[in-house]
């Protein structure tokens, strides 16, 4: 028997993956959580039937949401991660020896438990002594912690349901306040093919708050369109002014000093959104 998982990427577009086995399926107070063993992508985490991550392509997203910003800041010591309960983002941050503290705020305990059990490759960073995990609301956390972080990473789900607030002007203002005077933040900002209005709105909102706003891109095969964006809001540092020759070597598969530069090269149709 063939078993397939299908995500409705838009109302009119679907992605399907053949499933060898359903390893976990549960419902938390926030969402439906599932772990599927897929034939094409290996173990895959879905939340409310939306693909979050998988063993085959996770490195692209997790390396890009972390290293571009960490290598833009001159000396990031204290980093906050909002969301990203699978652990992939934290795993990449702790590769930076200069980082002294990572506060990881994830709203859903079930996602953390599932990551520990089914995604040891992603959740390894949870064991690093510099990492503190808080099961809490990220929006509340940034409001309550002013002038605290060098970098904030928003590793959210799509802008529907619980994550809507993480794409709002009010939230970006709290992020600004939660950052130290030379701090910066990076958020995942969806697909220019299917979420163009969101990209336009978010970049214009962020540029109204932060002196430097930059959109960059990478390829994530399992996300809608396969072309994914991230947006950086920065109080001082410009990622394009980084001397990429001075970036220290990291054990990565997608990110490199060359990619640090080329990720900001945008196609005309994407530039038009900004």
State the catalytic residues: 155
Q: Is 231 one of the binding residues for ligand AG3 (CB under 6 A)?
A: no
Which of 88, 183, 233, 239: binder of ligand AG3 (CB under 6 A)?
Answer: 88
Q: Is the dihedral of CA 129, 131, 134, 135 positive or negative?
A: negative
Q: Is 52 one of the binding residues for ligand AG3 (CB under 6 A)?
A: yes
Which of 34, 44, 50, 114: binder of ligand AG3 (CB under 6 A)?
Answer: 50
Q: Is 224 one of the binding residues for ligand AG3 (CB under 6 A)?
A: yes
Region 145-184 residues binding ligand AG3, contact defined as CB under 6 A = 155, 157-158
How many residues can be counted in the chain? Answer: 274
Nearer to ligand AG3 among residue 89 and residue 231 (C-beta): 89
Burial class (CB within 10 angstroms; exposed 0-12, middle 13-18, buried 19+) of 220: buried
User: Considering only 83-91, 109-117, 127-135, 205-213, which stretch makes contact with ligand AG3 by CB under 6 A?
Assistant: 83-91
User: Which residues contact residue 226 at a Cβ distance below 8 angstroms, ignoring those fewer than 6 apart?
Assistant: 219, 220
Region 104-143 residues binding ligand AG3, contact defined as CB under 6 A = none
Q: Which residues pair with 54 in a beta bridge?
A: 44
- Report the run of H or E that residue 9 belongs to, with start and end: strand 3-10
Return the closest-CA partner of residue 80 out of 67, 92, 90.
90
Give the other-Cβ count within 10 Å of 181's Cβ: 8
Give the other-Cβ count within 10 Å of 127's Cβ: 10
Nearer to ligand AG3 among residue 91 and residue 214 (C-beta): 91
Do the beta carbons of residue 146 and residue 139 sit within 8 Å? no
Nearer to ligand AG3 among residue 142 and residue 163 (C-beta): 163
Nearer to ligand AG3 among residue 19 and residue 212 (C-beta): 19
Cα dihedral: 164, 55, 257, 155 (round 10):
20
User: Considering only 45-53, 107-115, 210-218, 248-256, which stretch makes contact with ligand AG3 by CB under 6 A?
Assistant: 45-53
Question: How does DSSP classify residue 96?
Answer: -
Which of 17, 31, 68, 86: binder of ligand AG3 (CB under 6 A)?
Answer: 86
Nearer to ligand AG3 among residue 51 and residue 259 (C-beta): 51
How many residues touch ligand AG3 (CB under 6 A)?
A: 16
Q: Is 44 one of the binding residues for ligand AG3 (CB under 6 A)?
A: no
- Report the run of H or E that residue 83 belongs to, with start and end: strand 78-83
- Report the run of H or E that residue 231 belongs to, with start and end: strand 227-234
Q: Is 53 one of the binding residues for ligand AG3 (CB under 6 A)?
A: yes
Nearer to ligand AG3 among residue 6 and residue 147 (C-beta): 6
Do the beta carbons of residue 82 and residue 142 sit within 8 Å? yes
Give the span between the Cα atoms of 167 and 205, in whole angstroms.
Answer: 9
Which of 35, 51, 82, 166: binder of ligand AG3 (CB under 6 A)?
Answer: 51
User: Considering only 29-37, 51-59, 90-98, 237-245, which stretch makes contact with ligand AG3 by CB under 6 A?
Assistant: 51-59
- Residues of this chain that bind ligand AG3 (CB under 6 A): 9, 50-53, 61, 84, 86, 88-89, 155, 157-158, 188, 223-224
């Amino acid at each position: 028997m063939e078993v397939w998982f299908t995500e409705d990427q838009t109302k009119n577009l679907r992605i399907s993956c053949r499933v060898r086995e359903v390893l976990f399926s549960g419902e938390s107070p926030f969402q439906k959580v599932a772990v599927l063993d897929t034939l094409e992508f290996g173990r895959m985490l879905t939340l409310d039937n939306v693909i979050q991550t998988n063993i085959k392509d996770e490195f692209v997203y997790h390396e890009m949401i972390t290293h571009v910003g960490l290598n833009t800041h001159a000396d990031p010591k204290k980093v906050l991660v909002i969301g990203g309960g699978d652990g992939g983002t934290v795993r990449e941050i702790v590769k930076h020896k200069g980082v002294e503290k990572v506060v990881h705020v994830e709203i859903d305990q079930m996602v953390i438990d599932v990551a520990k059990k089914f995604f040891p490759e992603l959740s390894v960073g949870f064991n690093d002594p510099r990492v503190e995990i808080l099961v809490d609301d990220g929006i509340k956390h940034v409001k309550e912690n002013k002038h605290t972080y060098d970098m904030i990473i928003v590793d959210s789900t799509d802008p529907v349901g619980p994550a809507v607030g993480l794409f709002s002007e009010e939230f970006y203002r709290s992020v600004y306040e939660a950052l130290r005077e030379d701090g910066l933040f990076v958020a995942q900002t969806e697909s220019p093919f299917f979420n163009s209005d969101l990209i336009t709105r978010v970049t214009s909102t962020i540029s109204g708050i932060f002196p430097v706003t930059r959109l960059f891109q990478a390829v994530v095969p399992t996300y809608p369109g396969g072309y994914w964006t991230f947006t950086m809001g920065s109080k001082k540092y410009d990622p394009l002014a980084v001397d990429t020759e001075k970036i220290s070597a990291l054990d990565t598969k997608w990110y490199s000093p060359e990619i640090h530069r080329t990720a900001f090269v945008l196609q005309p149709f994407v530039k038009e959104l900004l």
